[in-house]
Amino acid sequence: MPSLKSKTLFITGASRGIGKAIALRAARDGANIVVAAKTATADPRLPGTIHSAAEEIVAAGGQALAVVVDVRDEAQVRSAVDAAVERFGGIDILVNNASAIHLETVERTPMKRYDLMFEINARGSYLCAQACLPYLEKAANPHILTLSPPLDMNPKWFARHAAYTTSKYAMSMLSRGLAEELRGRGIASNSLWPRTVIATSALRIAAPDVAGQARLPTIMADAAWHILTRPSRELTGQLLIDEQVLRDTGVTDFEPYLVTPGVEPLIDFFVEP
């Protein structure tokens, strides 16, 4: 049976949401998780900190290292990588999960928001990959998994939020680029995106009605697990969708992933119905 036991995962934005779900799924195997996120003190609007996530990871059966990391800050990222290596002896997997979102037109997207999305989404993913590479090269089955969408040039994905779309597509293009650059070294690089809306804490606050027509973050965690336990030389350069990943492993019942039993979930951005 494939397992992430004793593997060390460096997960950005792992204090809540999809990042934490991926961490908890790996922890059930006995993995080591580096919780690399900004939230060190509780926010009453968005539950979860790096410390509470670490406690849940340990309770689930893993080991955890909570590190305050703003992926825009090169010094913080490199310091966190050093701390991970000192604690766990290396890094086997990087999950680029941290992301910023602003769903507005060009006219309504101030440069501050534009810069934030590109600094976190594109530059942050690039920086984390670069910082982790020396240790991924030494790993037995190294993977980079980036939470970014399939590349679809249909104008509808750009019309309403061009800045957000291009920042997320930049992550996917980086994912593809890393796959080709690192193929000869046996380091896999893939992207994963949800077919439907995922009920994260942020979504429950911003759009509670929509959250009821969503799937739980566990579907992304289960899909990520199947990707990260595959031999790295066999699966790389793919822009994957969570539901298809699970269908390919034989899953046919997606009812357990629904927030509201019996309610068909909404299709997410960048995915055709």
Q: Which of 114, 126, 135, 164 is catalytic?
A: 164
Is-catalytic flag, 169? no
Longest dimension (CA), the chain: 52
Q: Which residues of 155-170 are buried (b: 16+ CB within 10 A; e: fewer)?
A: eebbeebbbbbbbbbb
The residue written with tokens 């792992």 in the block is 14
259 and 201 Cβ atoms separated by less than 8 Å: no
Q: How far apart are CA 6 and CA 181, in angstroms?
A: 27
125 and 66 Cβ atoms separated by less than 8 Å: no
Positive or negative, the CA dihedral 269, 165, 168, 199 is negative
Which residues carry out catalysis? 164
